[in-house]
A and B are shown apart, each in its own frame.
Chain A
Amino acid sequence: GNSVTQMEGPVTLSEEAFLTINCTYTATGYPSLFWYVQYPGEGLQLLLKATKADDKGSNKGFEATYRKETTSFHLEKGSVQVSDSAVYFCALSTGGTSYGKLTFGQGTILTVHP
Protein backbone atom coordinates (compact mmCIF):
# COMPACT_ATOMS: atom_id res chain seq x y z
CA GLY A 1 0.00 0.00 0.00
CA ASN A 2 0.88 3.68 -0.06
CA SER A 3 2.52 5.46 2.84
CA VAL A 4 4.23 8.76 3.59
CA THR A 5 6.78 9.34 6.34
CA GLN A 6 7.75 12.81 7.51
CA MET A 7 10.54 13.83 9.80
CA GLU A 8 9.57 13.94 13.41
CA GLY A 9 8.74 17.32 14.81
CA PRO A 10 8.12 19.78 16.12
CA VAL A 11 10.64 22.04 14.40
CA THR A 12 11.55 25.35 16.01
CA LEU A 13 13.59 27.94 14.11
CA SER A 14 14.57 31.57 14.35
CA GLU A 15 13.40 33.99 11.70
CA GLU A 16 15.55 33.91 8.52
CA ALA A 17 16.85 30.41 9.25
CA PHE A 18 16.95 27.70 6.59
CA LEU A 19 14.18 25.12 6.70
CA THR A 20 14.17 21.49 5.63
CA ILE A 21 11.34 19.08 6.37
CA ASN A 22 12.07 15.57 5.17
CA CYS A 23 9.47 13.43 3.44
CA THR A 24 9.85 9.92 2.01
CA TYR A 25 7.20 7.72 0.48
CA THR A 26 6.31 4.24 -0.68
CA ALA A 27 3.75 3.84 -3.41
CA THR A 28 2.35 1.38 -5.89
CA GLY A 29 2.50 2.96 -9.30
CA TYR A 30 3.77 6.39 -10.13
CA PRO A 31 2.54 8.92 -7.58
CA SER A 32 2.03 12.64 -7.68
CA LEU A 33 3.49 14.37 -4.63
CA PHE A 34 2.19 17.31 -2.63
CA TRP A 35 2.90 19.57 0.30
CA TYR A 36 -0.07 20.97 2.16
CA VAL A 37 0.05 23.62 4.90
CA GLN A 38 -2.36 24.09 7.78
CA TYR A 39 -2.37 27.44 9.57
CA PRO A 40 -3.81 27.59 13.09
CA GLY A 41 -7.57 27.10 13.15
CA GLU A 42 -7.83 26.55 9.40
CA GLY A 43 -8.17 23.72 6.92
CA LEU A 44 -5.30 22.49 4.79
CA GLN A 45 -4.18 24.41 1.71
CA LEU A 46 -2.13 23.12 -1.18
CA LEU A 47 1.36 24.63 -0.97
CA LEU A 48 3.06 22.97 -3.94
CA LYS A 49 3.06 19.82 -6.01
CA ALA A 50 5.13 17.76 -8.46
CA THR A 51 3.77 15.13 -10.80
CA LYS A 52 6.84 13.45 -12.27
CA ALA A 53 10.43 12.64 -11.40
CA ASP A 54 12.84 15.60 -11.14
CA ASP A 55 9.98 18.11 -11.18
CA LYS A 56 10.41 20.96 -8.73
CA GLY A 57 7.32 22.40 -7.13
CA SER A 58 7.59 25.91 -5.70
CA ASN A 59 5.39 28.49 -4.04
CA LYS A 60 5.83 31.36 -1.53
CA GLY A 61 9.58 30.71 -1.34
CA PHE A 62 9.12 27.01 -0.57
CA GLU A 63 10.53 24.34 -2.88
CA ALA A 64 10.48 20.56 -3.14
CA THR A 65 11.98 18.27 -5.78
CA TYR A 66 10.48 14.90 -6.74
CA ARG A 67 13.35 12.40 -6.31
CA LYS A 68 12.29 9.02 -7.65
CA GLU A 69 15.63 7.35 -6.93
CA THR A 70 15.43 8.16 -3.22
CA THR A 71 11.59 8.20 -3.05
CA SER A 72 11.73 11.60 -1.39
CA PHE A 73 10.09 15.02 -1.61
CA HIS A 74 11.80 17.21 0.98
CA LEU A 75 10.43 20.69 1.63
CA GLU A 76 12.90 23.59 1.81
CA LYS A 77 12.85 27.33 2.33
CA GLY A 78 15.88 29.54 2.42
CA SER A 79 14.67 32.10 4.96
CA VAL A 80 11.63 31.41 7.11
CA GLN A 81 9.35 34.04 8.58
CA VAL A 82 7.17 34.06 11.69
CA SER A 83 4.15 33.84 9.38
CA ASP A 84 5.38 30.42 8.16
CA SER A 85 4.52 28.90 11.54
CA ALA A 86 2.06 26.14 10.70
CA VAL A 87 1.70 22.37 10.31
CA TYR A 88 3.10 20.95 7.07
CA PHE A 89 1.84 17.73 5.51
CA CYS A 90 3.48 15.71 2.79
CA ALA A 91 1.05 13.67 0.69
CA LEU A 92 0.82 11.49 -2.37
CA SER A 93 -1.83 10.45 -4.85
CA THR A 94 -1.69 7.52 -7.25
CA GLY A 95 -5.01 8.03 -9.03
CA GLY A 96 -6.64 5.06 -10.69
CA THR A 97 -9.64 3.70 -8.81
CA SER A 98 -8.57 5.89 -5.88
CA TYR A 99 -8.54 8.94 -8.08
CA GLY A 100 -8.40 11.93 -5.82
CA LYS A 101 -7.46 10.04 -2.68
CA LEU A 102 -4.51 11.52 -0.87
CA THR A 103 -2.33 9.59 1.54
CA PHE A 104 -0.89 11.98 4.14
CA GLY A 105 2.13 11.91 6.36
CA GLN A 106 1.72 12.61 10.05
CA GLY A 107 2.45 16.31 9.78
CA THR A 108 5.33 18.45 11.04
CA ILE A 109 4.70 21.40 13.32
CA LEU A 110 6.90 24.39 12.47
CA THR A 111 7.31 27.27 14.90
CA VAL A 112 9.34 30.31 13.86
CA HIS A 113 10.46 32.78 16.52
CA PRO A 114 11.32 36.44 15.84
Chain B
Amino acid sequence: EAQVTQNPRYLITVTGKKLTVTCSQNMNHEYMSWYRQDPGLGLRQIYYSMNVEVTDKGDVPEGYKVSRKEKRNFPLILESPSPNQTSLYFCASSPQGGGKLFFGSGTQLSVL
Protein backbone atom coordinates (compact mmCIF):
# COMPACT_ATOMS: atom_id res chain seq x y z
CA GLU B 1 0.00 0.00 0.00
CA ALA B 2 1.31 3.44 -0.98
CA GLN B 3 1.79 5.49 2.12
CA VAL B 4 3.73 8.03 4.14
CA THR B 5 4.63 6.69 7.57
CA GLN B 6 5.47 8.92 10.50
CA ASN B 7 6.64 7.87 13.92
CA PRO B 8 5.80 8.32 16.68
CA ARG B 9 2.11 9.34 16.61
CA TYR B 10 2.35 10.96 20.03
CA LEU B 11 5.37 12.32 21.86
CA ILE B 12 5.71 14.13 25.16
CA THR B 13 9.13 15.49 26.02
CA VAL B 14 10.82 18.15 28.10
CA THR B 15 12.52 21.37 27.07
CA GLY B 16 16.00 20.83 25.66
CA LYS B 17 15.87 17.08 25.11
CA LYS B 18 16.80 16.31 21.52
CA LEU B 19 14.26 14.33 19.53
CA THR B 20 13.73 12.98 16.03
CA VAL B 21 10.46 12.37 14.23
CA THR B 22 10.87 9.88 11.43
CA CYS B 23 9.14 9.97 8.05
CA SER B 24 9.29 7.36 5.33
CA GLN B 25 7.47 7.02 2.00
CA ASN B 26 7.26 3.97 -0.26
CA MET B 27 6.18 5.73 -3.48
CA ASN B 28 9.63 6.71 -4.77
CA HIS B 29 8.68 10.40 -4.56
CA GLU B 30 11.35 13.03 -5.14
CA TYR B 31 9.69 15.77 -3.11
CA MET B 32 9.18 15.60 0.66
CA SER B 33 8.16 18.24 3.16
CA TRP B 34 7.39 18.88 6.82
CA TYR B 35 4.48 21.01 8.03
CA ARG B 36 3.25 22.02 11.44
CA GLN B 37 -0.43 22.57 12.14
CA ASP B 38 -1.56 25.02 14.80
CA PRO B 39 -5.13 26.13 15.59
CA GLY B 40 -6.15 29.19 13.59
CA LEU B 41 -2.94 29.14 11.54
CA GLY B 42 -3.51 26.22 9.21
CA LEU B 43 -0.43 24.35 8.04
CA ARG B 44 2.92 26.06 7.75
CA GLN B 45 5.88 24.58 5.95
CA ILE B 46 9.01 23.92 8.01
CA TYR B 47 11.45 22.39 5.51
CA TYR B 48 11.26 20.70 2.18
CA SER B 49 13.46 18.54 -0.02
CA MET B 50 13.41 18.34 -3.81
CA ASN B 51 15.58 15.21 -3.85
CA VAL B 52 18.34 13.35 -2.04
CA GLU B 53 20.84 15.71 -0.40
CA VAL B 54 18.75 18.75 -1.46
CA THR B 55 16.89 20.51 1.35
CA ASP B 56 15.64 24.04 1.87
CA LYS B 57 13.86 26.16 4.44
CA GLY B 58 10.14 26.71 4.42
CA ASP B 59 8.28 29.44 6.24
CA VAL B 60 9.05 28.45 9.84
CA PRO B 61 12.42 26.63 9.94
CA GLU B 62 13.82 28.06 13.20
CA GLY B 63 14.58 25.37 15.77
CA TYR B 64 14.37 22.49 13.29
CA LYS B 65 16.78 20.45 11.19
CA VAL B 66 16.24 17.91 8.47
CA SER B 67 18.32 15.54 6.37
CA ARG B 68 17.67 13.60 3.17
CA LYS B 69 20.31 10.89 2.84
CA GLU B 70 17.96 8.44 1.17
CA LYS B 71 15.05 9.10 -1.14
CA ARG B 72 12.48 7.42 1.08
CA ASN B 73 13.38 9.00 4.43
CA PHE B 74 13.12 12.57 5.65
CA PRO B 75 13.53 12.86 9.43
CA LEU B 76 12.72 16.02 11.37
CA ILE B 77 15.15 16.84 14.17
CA LEU B 78 14.54 19.15 17.11
CA GLU B 79 17.94 19.63 18.74
CA SER B 80 16.67 21.61 21.72
CA PRO B 81 12.86 21.57 21.80
CA SER B 82 10.99 24.44 23.40
CA PRO B 83 7.33 24.73 24.46
CA ASN B 84 6.49 26.87 21.40
CA GLN B 85 7.25 23.81 19.27
CA THR B 86 4.28 22.00 20.78
CA SER B 87 2.23 21.27 17.68
CA LEU B 88 0.84 18.66 15.29
CA TYR B 89 3.45 17.77 12.68
CA PHE B 90 2.84 16.31 9.23
CA CYS B 91 5.24 14.83 6.74
CA ALA B 92 4.19 14.84 3.09
CA SER B 93 5.57 13.65 -0.22
CA SER B 94 4.88 14.18 -3.89
CA PRO B 95 6.27 12.78 -7.15
CA GLN B 96 7.19 16.23 -8.45
CA GLY B 97 5.39 18.67 -6.22
CA GLY B 98 2.74 20.72 -7.95
CA GLY B 99 0.20 20.49 -5.21
CA LYS B 100 -0.87 16.87 -4.87
CA LEU B 101 0.74 15.95 -1.62
CA PHE B 102 0.43 12.62 0.18
CA PHE B 103 0.36 13.15 3.94
CA GLY B 104 1.33 11.00 6.87
CA SER B 105 -1.06 10.58 9.81
CA GLY B 106 0.69 13.17 11.93
CA THR B 107 2.78 13.39 15.10
CA GLN B 108 1.34 15.21 18.09
CA LEU B 109 4.29 16.70 19.98
CA SER B 110 4.07 18.24 23.44
CA VAL B 111 7.12 19.99 24.88
CA LEU B 112 6.85 20.63 28.62
- Using a CB–CB cutoff of 8 Å, the interface residues on chain A facing chain B are 4, 32, 34, 41-46, 49, 89, 91, 93, 95, 99-102, 104-107
Contact = CB atoms under 8 A, between A and B. Distances in A.
28 contacts: A4-B42, A32-B99, A34-B99, A42-B106, A43-B4, A43-B90, A43-B104, A44-B43, A46-B101, A49-B99, A89-B43, A91-B99, A93-B99, A95-B97, A95-B98, A99-B50, A100-B31, A100-B33, A100-B94, A100-B97, A100-B99, A101-B33, A101-B45, A101-B97, A102-B99, A102-B101, A106-B40, A106-B42
B84 to A, nearest CB: 18
A113 B92 CA distance: 31
The interface centre, meaning the residue of B42, B44, B90, B97 with most chain A CB atoms within 10 A of its CB, is B42
A49 B100 contact: yes
B96 interface: yes
Interface residues of B, number: 26
B105 interface: yes
B58 interface: yes
A101 B101 CA distance: 9
Contact of B105 (A42, A93, A99, A107): A42
B74 interface: no
B97 A43 contact: no
A44 B102 CA distance: 8
B46 to A, nearest CB: 11
Nearest to A4: B42
B28 to A, nearest CB: 15
Interface in B52-106: 58, 90, 92, 94, 96-101, 103-106
Contacts of A95: 97-98
B12 interface: no
Nearest to A100: B97
Interface string B32-47: 0101000011111100
B34 to A, nearest CB: 12
